[in-house]
Chain A
Amino acid sequence: MPVINVDELTDKDKAVMELNQRKLEVKLERWLTSKCCEEMKDYIQERVEEDTLVKGISEEKNPFKEKGGCIIC
């Protein structure tokens, strides 16, 4: 993989790089935003019950819970 030395790029080099980048990006296949939104909503709904910050967690299951006293068996 050729390593670009950024310090050696002239203004023209940078303008050419930017132009070539735009040429690549204009060709992208884009999904409808409705499809993206539906997928995002589904992803969230499937996982939100396990999301501690949203749903909370019982004190027993909480790894950061305050330690109780000592138990001597």
Chain B
Amino acid sequence: MGEMEQLRKEAESLKDQITAARKAVQDTTLQEAAAGITVVGRVQLKTRKTLRGHLAKIYAMHWAVDANLCVSASQDGKLIVWDTITTNKVNAIPLKSSWVMTCAYAPSGNLVACGGLDNMCSIYNLKGKDGNVKVMRELAAHTGYLSCCRFLSDSEIITSSGDCTCVLWDIETGTQKTVFAGHQGDCMSLAVSPDFKFFISGACDFTAKLWDIREGVCRQTFGGHESDINAIGFFPNGNAVITGSDDATCKLYDLRADQELITYQDSSIMCGVTSLAPSLSGRLILAGYDDFNVNIWDSLKSERVCWQVMTTE
């Protein structure tokens, strides 16, 4: 097939050009630039609250904007909205499908969403007139599992799916506004930029992509991981992306340099990363691993920060 061969050759050549262009602006590494900075000292953690109530594995959770409430999704078939200060359950929402993989809290606090092996994203109104929480919309069109969802507002939500696409939905009409296609493997995770203009997706094709929400196009693609990307997040300033992969590493990519600045890895860590989040300033990156551990990384040094849990009762 001469045509496919031709297309592949051209794509390879462009890939080499991109690699060269990235190398051309690489006048330092983050480790060199941060050489004069001391590693963060020991972090002391204390378990403050334990939210009990789910009866099976909890697959996902998402904070509300007020950082007091949060929502969690469990394969016991429930979404629970928690008041984390009192540990009270504000809502316990029974789901039609118990195979839930993700949940999200709308910035307004009015809605929550979830989805999973039912291939749908279900939107629930927490502030219904009669006080009951009901399904408001069922967003159905994905041909694969729903891996992640994030609200832009009460009228728009972005989903990522095992069908290799991400979709921007109009919640009111329940229709797809934009399909973001380009990944060549299941999309596992997504995160929206602080200014709501972009989102990033991590996939089983080992790449992360930056998408322009309004234009509907992929602006940048970041490679380097050697296995599925399971978790993705923005650095707090919105100018860098953090990814966590089955290859046991996390990576930080800068959007303006269009390349990886640092990899967070240790030869003693051999299992995949399943979740991650930066601290407020971005100095720490917390990552959850398949061996049930959390590692805390000094983001500038690629060194694990020692931490201890202070025992309470």
The answer to whether A and B belong to the same complex is: yes
**A interface, CB within 8 angstroms of B:** 1, 3-7, 9, 11-12, 14-19, 21-26, 28, 30-41, 43-44, 46-48, 50-54, 56, 62-66
Q: How far is the CA of A48 from the CA of B279 in the complex (A)?
A: 9
B280 close to A32 (CB less than 8 A): no
A41 close to B258 (CB less than 8 A): no
Across-interface contacts of B219 in A (CB, < 8 A):
24-25, 28
Across-interface contacts of B164 in A (CB, < 8 A):
6
B14 close to A19 (CB less than 8 A): yes
Across-interface contacts of A62 in B (CB, < 8 A):
48
Across-interface contacts of A56 in B (CB, < 8 A):
44
Total interface residues on B, CB under 8 Å, equals 68
Given contacts A15-B11, A33-B25, A54-B283, contact A64 B48 (CB under 8 A): yes
B21 close to A30 (CB less than 8 A): yes
Scoring B residues 15 to 32 as 1 if CB is less than 8 Å from chain A, else 0, what string do you get? 101100110111111100
Across-interface contacts of A46 in B (CB, < 8 A):
281
Nearest residue (CB) in B for A13 is B181
What secondary structure prevails in chain A residues at the interface with B? helix
A22 close to B254 (CB less than 8 A): no
Across-interface contacts of B178 in A (CB, < 8 A):
1, 3
Scoring B residues 132 to 173 as 1 if CB is less than 8 Å from chain A, else 0, what string do you get? 000000000001000000000000000000011100000000
**B interface, CB within 8 angstroms of A:** 3-4, 7-8, 10-11, 14-15, 17-18, 21-22, 24-30, 33-34, 37, 40, 43-45, 48-49, 68, 84-85, 143, 163-165, 176-179, 181-182, 184, 216-221, 235-237, 239-240, 254, 256-259, 261, 279-284, 286, 299-300
Q: How far is the CA of A41 from the CA of B163 in the complex (A)?
A: 38
12 A-B residue pairs with CB within 8 Å:
A6-B164, A11-B4, A14-B184, A15-B4, A15-B11, A19-B7, A26-B18, A44-B283, A51-B279, A53-B43, A53-B45, A54-B283
Q: How far is the CA of A70 from the CA of B44 in the complex (A)?
A: 29
A47 close to B282 (CB less than 8 A): yes
Given contacts A26-B21, A32-B257, contact A51 B26 (CB under 8 A): no
Across-interface contacts of A9 in B (CB, < 8 A):
181
State which of A3, A28, A48, A54 has its C-beta within 8 Å of the C-beta of B220: A28
The distance from the CB of B273 to the nearest CB of chain A, in whole angstroms, is 18
A25 close to B220 (CB less than 8 A): yes
Q: How far is the CA of A46 from the CA of B163 in the complex (A)?
A: 41
Across-interface contacts of B283 in A (CB, < 8 A):
44, 48, 51, 54
Q: How far is the CA of A3 from the CA of B163 in the complex (A)?
A: 15
Q: How far is the CA of A43 from the CA of B179 in the complex (A)?
A: 34
Across-interface contacts of A37 in B (CB, < 8 A):
28-30, 33-34, 261
Query: Assuming A25-B220, A30-B258, A63-B85, what are 5 further A-B pairs, CB within 8 angstroms?
Result: A15-B7, A22-B15, A25-B14, A26-B14, A37-B33
B43 close to A54 (CB less than 8 A): yes
State which of B18, B29, B179, B217 has its C-beta within 8 Å of the C-beta of A3: B179
Given contacts A31-B25, A33-B29, A51-B281, contact A16 B7 (CB under 8 A): yes
Q: How far is the CA of A8 from the CA of B21 in the complex (A)?
A: 34
B237 close to A12 (CB less than 8 A): no
Across-interface contacts of A7 in B (CB, < 8 A):
143
The distance from the CB of B69 to the nearest CB of chain A, in whole angstroms, is 12
